[in-house]
């Protein structure tokens, strides 16, 4: 029979697995059991509404068996099974994002110790097996099939009779080598140990025939007890889902393991939230706030939602309605007996019970984040650097509907110090006479703090918020005020700061100078004014009409066709020696004065981080005056 080839990236993953020198090869069992459990979840869900399945909740199970002599391990489930197409799609290519991510990381680091952090999936079987056989029948299909592979040279699929839906995975365990003892996996006790270690919370029984010696009946307690060997089917796992166990009985490691296995995550959660609610809807939830942004978080592949269980039966993998957009990074499960089991997914979407749960969960998450901010600042800061953007989107979206509930979760860098600040802290530090909350936007803290128009605010000793993310200014615009204090961009005309007494008065010829510059620059600027805020710099460019330069850059990247432009207002420091020098030239040497005006304009563009229209002309211009 012709061998089919693995898709190339799957082949690479397979190679990694086959040649793995990884010490925790034992995780193959966890992966195969977890696949079996997922397959059962699917059929179990169908059985709720389809009598033809002919199985009830308690009939679903996973059988584990081992044949030491022939070096074989079998994992059997009565789940949904696969047909030929599924086999090609699922076992011929990297199916899960977990394994894909793993492959990518491996290619970067070649550090095999990271295997345990990923849901590496089916291919991990090849860490211990020289050949793998998958005998399976899909629910509803006429016939079954067998998939066989000895690794990288490909796989075969052929038809095979099989009575019931489900899958049997057979592993032909590798012979021992000088350094590797694969035979340990052929010991019942070792497998049973592994199930307890990694798969205890699997909600279906994992059953294995355990052989052990036992004291013969009637001889126990006697002087010479007699022993016999018995084989009994034993359920190896406790089957209590982790979210049903009291928090005090569960270790952080167990929660983390669950988080990694279930959600393909590999970070340590920033916060583990458990909640048990009795009321209109009674439910338990176990939620995780990640500490790292998942690699696909800002792509369409990332699915928002919580897993929804009804009395231990998984009814939805990603129930989106349970989470608001602004908390889409949260992972977890919700289990409630109040959701009727035969509910269809469409009905579920409009279920008001679901809304009730979603509302209480949103409050819970918000409170947990607030308390993290108060009690564990460092963790919060690192959380915010990962997901702050999402919170800001939350404020801006839906016409600012969520701004009041989210505003206290915000953090910004500011001139107050290295660490980010909350708005409440900023307002607390404001001197009595300070009218506004000042902010400035730019690419980095360093570039903003050097903006000429920031100087007057900073010189006055007022704190300045640094808007370094493109979404920041939109966020502050949406908020408009915090604690009745208005936000004010340093670009605004009137910063509400009185000039110091000692400041020089504007020269008398100001109006003529401004008109001259305006005429010289023409359409390039919308206005030329005498600055009230420049201190030591000669010029700056400020934006008028609500669109700032940072927004202009943002729109230029996002919707270039819209041609969204900030209105450019050139501010001149009339008392600056170089501006005075230009004023002197006007009327005496207008050509030279025009050159000054052009140079001022280009300098202002550079400082604002905007491209100058023609760099070589500008260079020539500067040289012509040198
Ligand atoms: P993952 O389980 O992370 O998606 P795997 O590589 O472990 O990735 O499995 C790939 C796919 O193969 C699964 O998503 C599933 O569709 C299918 N599969 C694996 N094992 C089984 C099984 N025992 N029964 C039914 N389908 C299975």
The residue written with tokens 């201190």 in the block is 535
Locate the ligand 1 atom nearest the alpha carbon of residue 42 and give its number. Answer: 25
Q: Which two three-digit tokens encode residue 385?
A: 């650097």
Tell me: the pLDDT tens digits for 181-197?
999 999 999 999 999 88
Q: What is the pLDDT of residues 573-586, one digit of tens each?
A: 999 999 999 999 99
Higher pLDDT residue, 266 or 61?
A: 61
CA distance linking residue 562 with residue 555, whole number of Å: 8
**How high is the pLDDT of residue 73?**
98
Q: Which CATH class is domain 411-498?
A: alpha beta
476 pLDDT more than 90: yes
**Which class for 8: exposed (0-12), middle (13-18), buried (19 or more C-beta within 10 A)?**
exposed
Ligand 1 centroid to Cα of residue 85, in Å, is 13
Q: What percent of the chain has pLDDT over 90?
A: 57
Q: Which two tokens stand for residue 465?
A: 């918020």
**pLDDT-based confidence at residue 298 (cuts at 50, 70, 90):** confident
User: From CA 393, how far away is CA 546, in angstroms rounded?
Assistant: 19
- Count Cβ neighbours within 10 Å for each residue of 294-310 and write b for 16 or more, e otherwise: beebeeeeeebbbbbbb
- Extract long-range pairs of 518-526: CB within 8 Å, 24+ residues apart: 520/593, 520/594, 520/597, 520/598, 521/570, 521/597, 521/598, 521/601, 524/568, 524/601, 524/613, 525/568, 525/569, 525/570, 525/601, 526/567, 526/568, 526/569
Q: Is the CB of 264 under 6 A from ligand 1?
A: no
Atom of ligand 1 nearest to the CA of 169: 23
> Alpha-carbon distance 465 to 421, whole Å?
9
| pLDDT at 478 (0 to 100) | 94
% of the chain with per-residue pLDDT over 70: 92
Candidates 95, 125, 136: which one to mutate for ligand 1, based on the most atoms within 8 Å of Cβ? 95
Closest ligand 1 atom number to CA of residue 98: 3
Average pLDDT over residues 6-23: 74
In terms of pLDDT, which residue wins out, 329 or 17? 329
CA atoms within 13 A of residue 410's CA, in its CB half-sphere: 30
- The rounded Å distance from CA 35 to ligand 1 centre is 5
463 and 416 Cβ atoms separated by less than 8 Å: yes
pLDDT at 342: 47
pLDDT band at residue 326 under the 50/70/90 scheme: very high
Residue 49 has pLDDT above 90, yes or no: no
Contacts of 512 (CB under 8 A, 6+ apart): 586
Q: Determine whether the shortest distance from the Cβ of 40 to ligand 1 is under 6 A.
A: no
pLDDT band at 500 (very low <50, low <70, confident <90, very high): low
Return the pLDDT at 111. Answer: 56
166 contacts 140 by C-beta, under 8 angstroms: no
The whole-angstrom separation of Cα 252 and Cα 255 is 5
- The listed CATH number (3.40.190.290, 3.30.70.260, 3.30.565.10, 3.30.465.10) that belongs to domain 10-235: 3.30.565.10
Higher pLDDT, 219 or 173: 173
198 versus 514: the higher-pLDDT residue is 514
Nearest ligand 1 atom, CA 77 = 23
Angle at 253 between CA 248 and CA 247, to 5 degrees: 15
**Model pTM greater than 0.85?**
no
Q: Is 166 a pocket residue for ligand 1 (Cβ < 6 Å)?
A: no
C-beta neighbour count of 620 within 10 angstroms: 10
Q: What was the pLDDT predicted at 109?
A: 60
Ligand 1 proximity of 118 Cβ (cutoff 6 Å):
no
Q: Using the predicted structure, report yes or no on whether residue 545 has a pLDDT greater than 80.
A: no
Structure token digits, residue 56: 């009830």
558: its two tokens? 């996002």
C-alpha 201 – ligand 1 centre gap (Å):
19
The number of beta carbons lying within 10 Å of the beta carbon of residue 496 is: 14
| CATH topology classification for 244-380 | Ribosomal Protein S5; domain 2 (3.30.230)
* Least confident stretch, 14-18, 241-245, 256-260, 510-514: 14-18
Fold of 510-625: 1.20.120
What digits encode the pLDDT tens for the residues 194-248? 998 878 878 899 999 998 888 888 888 888 888 888 899 999 998 888 999 999 9
| Number of Cβ within a 10 Å radius of residue 139 | 22
Sequence spans of domains, the chain:
10-235, 244-380, 411-498, 510-625
Question: What are 75-121's pLDDT values in tens digits?
Answer: 999 999 999 999 988 887 765 555 566 566 666 665 555 554 555 67
Q: Please, which residues have CB within 8 angstroms of residue 381's CB and are 6 or more apart in sequence?
A: 411, 419, 420
Among residues 387, 142, 180, the alpha carbon closest in space to that of 269 is found at 387
In short, whether 80's Cβ falls inside 6 Å of ligand 1 is yes
The alpha carbon of 618 is separated from its chain's Cα centroid by a whole number of angstroms, namely 45
Out of 15-24, 110-119, 193-202, 367-376, least confident range: 110-119
- CB contact set of 29 (below 8 Å; sequence gap of 6+): 75, 185, 191, 194, 195, 198, 199
pLDDT (0 to 100) of residue 493: 72
Average pLDDT over the chain, rounded to an integer: 88
Query: Is any atom of ligand 1 closer than 6 Å to the C-beta of 95?
Result: yes
pLDDT above 50 for 428: yes
Res 26: pLDDT? 87
As a whole number of angstroms, the distance between CA 12 and CA 3 comes to: 17
Cα–Cα dist 136/157, whole Å: 11
Lowest mean pLDDT among 90-94, 112-116, 372-376, 380-384: 112-116
Residue 139 structure tokens: 């629910």
Task: Out of 189-193, 496-500, 600-604, pick the least confident.
Answer: 496-500
Higher pLDDT, 478 or 509: 478
Give the mean model confidence (pLDDT) for residues 528-542.
89
Q: Is the pLDDT of residue 23 over 60?
A: yes
Q: What is the pLDDT of residues 125-158, one digit of tens each?
A: 998 999 999 999 999 999 999 999 998 778 999 9
């Amino acid at each position: 029979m012709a061998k089919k080839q693995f898709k190339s990236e799957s082949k690479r993953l397979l190679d990694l697995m086959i040649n793995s020198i990884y010490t925790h090869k034992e995780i193959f069992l966890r992966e195969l059991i977890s696949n079996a459990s997922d397959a059962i979840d699917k059929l179990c869900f169908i059985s709720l509404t389809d009598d033809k399945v002919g199985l009830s909740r308690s009939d679903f199970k996973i059988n584990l068996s081992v044949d030491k002599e022939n070096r074989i391990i079998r994992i059997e489930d009565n789940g949904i099974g696969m047909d030929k197409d599924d086999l090609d799609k699922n076992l011929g290519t990297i199916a899960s994002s977990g394994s894909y991510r793993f492959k990518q990381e491996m290619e970067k680091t070649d550090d095999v110790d990271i295997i345990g952090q990923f849901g590496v999936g089916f291919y991990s079987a090849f860490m211990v097996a020289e050949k793998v056989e998958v005998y399976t029948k899909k629910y509803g299909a006429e016939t079954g099939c067998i998939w066989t592979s000895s690794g990288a040279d490909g796989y075969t699929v052929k038809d095979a009779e099989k009575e019931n839906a489900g899958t049997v995975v057979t592993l032909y365990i590798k012979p021992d080598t000088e350094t590797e003892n694969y035979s340990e996996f052929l010991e019942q006790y070792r497998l049973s140990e592994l199930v307890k270690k990694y798969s205890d919370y699997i909600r279906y029984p994992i059953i294995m025939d355990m052989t052990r010696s036992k004291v013969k009946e009637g001889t126990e307690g006697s002087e010479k007890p007699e022993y016999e060997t018995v084989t009994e089917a034993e359920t190896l796992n406790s089957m209590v889902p982790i979210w049903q166990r009291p928090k005090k009985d569960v270790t952080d490691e167990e929660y983390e393991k669950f988080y990694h296995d279930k959600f393909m995550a590999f970070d340590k959660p920033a916060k583990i939230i458990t909640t048990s609610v009795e009321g209109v809807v009674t439910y338990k939830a176990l939620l995780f706030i990640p500490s790292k942004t998942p690699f696909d978080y800002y792509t369409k592949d990332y699915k928002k939602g919580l897993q929804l269980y009804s009395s231990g039966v998984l009814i939805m993998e990603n129930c989106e309605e349970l989470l608001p957009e602004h908390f889409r990074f949260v992972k977890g499960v919700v289990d409630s007996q109040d959701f009727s089991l035969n509910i269809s997914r469409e009905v579920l979407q409009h279920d008001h019970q679901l809304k009730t749960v979603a509302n209480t969960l949103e409050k819970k998450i918000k409170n947990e984040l607030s308390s993290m901010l108060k009690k564990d600042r460092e963790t919060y800061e690192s959380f915010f650097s990962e997901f702050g953007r999402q919170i800001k989107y939350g404020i801006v979206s839906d016409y600012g509907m969520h701004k009041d509930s989210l505003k206290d979760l915000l953090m910004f860098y500011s001139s107050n110090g290295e660490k980010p600040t909350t708005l409440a802290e900023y307002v607390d530090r404001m001197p009595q006479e300070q009218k506004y909350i000042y902010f400035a936007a730019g690419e980095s803290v360093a570039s903003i703090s050097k903006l000429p128009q920031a100087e007057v605010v900073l010189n006055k000793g007022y704190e300045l918020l640094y808007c370094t993310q493109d979404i920041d200014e939109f966020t502050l615009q949406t908020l408009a005020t915090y604690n009745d204090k208005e936000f004010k961009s340093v670009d605004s005309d009137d910063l509400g700061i009185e000039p110091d007494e000692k400041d020089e008065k504007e020269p008398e010829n100001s109006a003529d100078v401004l008109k001259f510059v305006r005429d010289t620059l023409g359409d390039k600027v919308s206005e030329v004014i005498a600055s009230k805020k420049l201190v030591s710099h000669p010029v700056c460019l400020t934006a008028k009409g609500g669109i700032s330069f940072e927004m202009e850059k943002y729109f230029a990247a996002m919707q270039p066709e819209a041609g969204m432009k900030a209105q450019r207002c050139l501010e001149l420091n009339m008392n600056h020696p170089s501006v005075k020098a230009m004023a002197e030239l006007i009327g005496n040497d207008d050509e030279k004065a025009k050159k000054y005006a052009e140079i001022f304009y280009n300098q202002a563009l550079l400082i604002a981080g905007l491209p100058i229209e023609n760099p070589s002309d500008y260079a020539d211009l500067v040289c012509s005056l040198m």
